[in-house]
Amino acid sequence: MAKGYWVSVYPAASDPEGLTPYDELAGPAVRAAGGRLLSRGSRVLAHEAGLTQRAVLIEFDSFDLAVAAYESEAYRTALAALPTGFARDFRIIEGVD
CATH of the domain at 62: 3.30.70.100
φ, ψ for residue 83, nearest 5 deg: -60, 145
Mapped onto helix, strand or coil, the DSSP state of residue 36 is strand
Terminal CA-to-CA distance of the chain, rounded, Å? 6
Residue 15 carries which DSSP code? -
Question: What per-residue confidence (pLDDT) applies to 36?
Answer: 97
Segment 10-15 shows an average pLDDT of: 68
Confidence class for position 12, pLDDT limits 50, 70, 90: low
Give CA angle at 92 (90, 96), nearest 5°: 140
Which residues fall within 8 angstroms of residue 62, CB to CB, at 6 or more apart? 1, 2, 3, 4
Average pLDDT, the chain: 88
Segment 9-34 shows an average pLDDT of: 84
Q: Give the range of the structural domain holding residue 89, as residue numbers without chain letter.
A: 4-94
Number of domains into which the chain is organized: 1
